[in-house]
Amino acid sequence: MKIRFRVIMAALLVVAGGPLFARDRTIALGGGEQWAAFPKIEGLTALPGRGGFADLCLADSEYPVGPSTDLLLHFNSPPLREETGHYSITSSSAGVNEKYAKFGKGAGVFSGNGGIVLEPLSGALFGPGSVWTDFSIEFWLYPAALADGEVVFAWKGYRRYGGKLIPQTLECRVRRRTLVWTFENLFTPATGEPFRFELESVESLIPRRWRHHLLRFNNREGILEYLVDDVPAGTRYTTVSGLESSQACVPLIGEAEHSSLSVAPRFTGFMDELRVSAEYVKTPLLHRYSEARGRATSRVFDLGSTGTVVKRVNALLDQPGDTEIDFYIRASDSFDTFERLKGDWRPFVPGKSFGNGLTGRYVQLMVEFFPDGGNEVSPRLFSIDIVYEPALAPPSPADLRAVAGDGKVTLSWKPVVEDDVKGYFVFYGEAPLNYLGEGAAEGKSPIDVGNVTTFELSGLTNGKLYFFAVAAYDTATPAHLSEFHEEKSARPSEVKK
């Protein structure tokens, strides 16, 4: 039998005047301990929450910067920054509000006094001399009043025509509770002559409500589309007549160096996820959370000894509406690596006892998060506690006695009264606390004597002093070995004593 030596310390509690062993132990995760014990997290994030600690919840489906992303503002935290590096923010009167965020940690707050001004840098779509093909402009908007004349998005530049500079404008403003897109000399006819048109929404807006707005241009078909919450609200061919033909005009930015791009310069309300793309966006991001689940897998926890009983796992959580968090656990007395614990995942209900049906020295957790049916609400996990009872080594055998005889020593001790005690090991040697003895007819030290309390070692040398100790072991695999309670010595002799 393979024996692993270890010392297991049990905490002592004094209850009603007497010492008791506190066998239950707890591993606390989340809450004040944060979530560092979950190194593998997919689709989840930790956000400030209950008690000032970080709650684990689904990560927002914010747009990443992709190959076609020209401009991206998340409005998550001050100071605001443009994510692509194609634009420099030269001035901003916008704030950030976490409460009204549509995506991420915050939304831009605008009060109608200037908004955000950006300078196009090298490679920007709105940079001088830029020729566009497909493009899209999109944002989420939460208007406070929808007053006529409010401006949500505006760009101004210049291009040459007839030896003179003529103004160019792309503007989105409020008119009769709708958004109107104005294009002045941006779409350029083959002749280069001035060309101005508007695209007005047929969809009336409602104050204090989030709506998604998308303007997109298909260069191949020469069609400009405006959608509100992915529903068509306006369409126009970019021809001088406005009708379908092969003479569609192409977006062209003039060579003038001084152009400016303004976000919500005269608008009161909130804006989130502003993105300009050098592509025709077919499937905009309309829901806060993706339909895919979020998942977190913990590291492997070493509970200290084989055969440890995992009693239950408690969790403090919030599952609003039809959101859900599913919990899984696996336990084993061995593992391949800390990343690959042996054993299948077992679903469980937090707070419900496993009884004695889950044992192992190593344990690992996995949690899966699911949003509500509209993909707008996330469940939150505040903390997790793993409650377990260590498989402690048996108590030490007491009252060891050693009686010498002719070439032999008879040992006896009191039995250890524990249900899981399987037997005893006898240790012997020729120096105190050195139990590497050899020469006994019964074998080298230690000797597995089974579940007996008397044992005789024979074949010993008369006149030589031997030292003895006894330890109990339990039914675990590998067995837990008790400490030595005491050491006894005896000297075999032919002389009867």
Side-chain-side CA neighbours of 175 within 13 Å: the count stands at 12
Instruction: Write out the two tokens for 390.
Output: 């260590």
Distance CA 200, CA 438 (A): 99
What contacts 281, CB < 8 A, 6 or more positions away?
Answer: 136, 138, 214, 216
CB 251 within 8 A of CB 131: yes
What does pTM read for this prediction?
0.70
Positions in the chain whose pLDDT score sits under 70: 1-22, 257, 336-340, 497
What is the pairing mode between strands 3-4 and 479-480? parallel
CA dihedral 299, 302, 307, 311 (to 10 degrees): -60
Distance CA 271, CA 418 (A): 69
Distance CA 425, CA 481 (A): 9
Quickly list DSSP for 437-483: ----TT-SSSEEEES-SEEEEESPPTT--EEEEEEEEESSSSEEBPP
The Cα-based distances of 284 to 42, 276, 281, 301, 372 in angstroms read 22, 12, 6, 42, 20
Q: Give the model's pLDDT for residue 105.
A: 87
What contacts 2, CB < 8 A, 6 or more positions away?
Answer: 478
Query: What sign for the dihedral angle of Cα 237, 241, 243, 244?
Result: negative
Task: Give 270's strand partners.
Answer: 109, 142
Q: Give the model's pLDDT for residue 16.
A: 29
Give CA 152 to chain center in angstroms: 35
Q: Give the model's pLDDT for residue 497.
A: 58
Compute φ and ψ for 194, nearest 5 degrees: -60, 145
Domains of the chain: 24-58+291-389 (2.60.120.260), 69-277 (2.60.120.200), 401-490 (2.60.40.10)
- Residue 45: which of 290, 296, 285 has the closest Cα? 296
Compute φ and ψ for 51, nearest 5 degrees: 65, 15
Helix/strand/coil for 204 = coil
**122-152, pLDDT tens digit by residue?**
899 999 999 999 999 999 999 999 999 999 9
**77-117, pLDDT tens digit by residue?**
999 999 999 999 999 999 999 888 999 889 999 999 999 99
What contacts 417, CB < 8 A, 6 or more positions away?
Answer: none
Give CA 112 to chain center in angstroms: 38
Compute φ and ψ for 68, nearest 5 degrees: -100, 0
- Residue 126: which of 167, 185, 70, 84 has the closest Cα? 70
Helix/strand/coil for 50 = helix
Distance CA 275, CA 69 (A): 7
Give CA 450 to chain center in angstroms: 50
Instruction: With residue 83 as reference, give the H or E element that holds it.
Output: none
- Residue 491: which of 402, 429, 404 has the closest Cα? 404
Give CA 462 to chain center in angstroms: 69
What contacts 294, CB < 8 A, 6 or more positions away?
Answer: 41, 42, 43, 44, 58, 59, 368, 369
Quickly list DSSP for 282-344: SS---SSS-SSPEEEEPPPEE-SSTT-EEEEEEEEEE--TT-EEEEEEEEES-EEETTEESS-
Distance CA 99, CA 102 (A): 9
